[in-house]
Structure 1
């Protein structure tokens, strides 16, 4: 199974670093963004083991998010452009996470991936 297939095979998806402002990342104060309920931390996800996480944070923040994901049993992570650097990629490998990085943004590919998830 490819990394993309693993990512979209989960029943739930979360975005770390979402904001009500499309010009910046993160806003722990909002309870909802574009009609979707938010949580302030991956620790608050209802079913982390069945959740894939897209990360849109600077690399120094991403490192902590990856460690939280591993601790919670979140195996599938998609690092969006700008969320990774060499230290992030090394950390992800050391943690044994299934990571998509260095490629296109899930926000661009996501709808098409979900539409064709059974044929990937």
Structure 2
């Protein structure tokens, strides 16, 4: 089932899977766009004014990227959120991984109770889409829309 962007951004938390410490990579740009909009309160798109979302990142080699707590696995990120009282079904995964890894990321999320996924352009795969379609209540944004465009992010920040 396809999700709407508004529904994705109504989650209490977003985990950026595939976050990167390199500012040139999309995993970093997506993290910065979400951070400036939902953590720093400086949205480029007025539609998200006054909206706050808890943000975590997943990268197996880093502990902090762009001042955002970074964990090695989706499971650990979901566990941190649960200790903060944020349920997995109130969490979205923004995925910036190679297509071959995306299905596994979605499988991890589904097994933990995450139900909303956004594959950034280049991360989607047919297998990932099938996984979401086969899971009750799960939704996926894929095949075009990008967080950077939706949030009006420009890489001069």
Q: TM-score, normalised by structure 2?
A: 0.63
Q: Tell me, yes or no, if structure 1 residue 73 matches structure 2 residue 113.
A: yes
Q: CA RMSD of the aligned region, Å?
A: 2.1
Shift of 1:4: 1.7
CA deviation profile, 1:3-52 (whole Å, cap 9, x unmatched): 22221111111100011013375741111111111111110122333211
Q: TM-score, normalised by structure 1?
A: 0.80
Looking at structure 2, the residues matched to 23 and 6 of structure 1 have their Cα atoms a distance apart, in angstroms, of 26
Looking at structure 2, the residues matched to 71 and 40 of structure 1 have their Cα atoms a distance apart, in angstroms, of 17
Structure 2 gaps of 5+ residues are 28-57, 83-87
2:91 to 25, 43, 51: 51
State the match for 2:25 in structure 1: 23
Looking at structure 2, the residues matched to 58 and 20 of structure 1 have their Cα atoms a distance apart, in angstroms, of 17
Structure 1 gaps of 5+ residues are 113-120
Residues 19 and 70 of structure 1: is their aligned pair in 2 closer, same or farther, counting only changes over 3 Å?
Answer: same
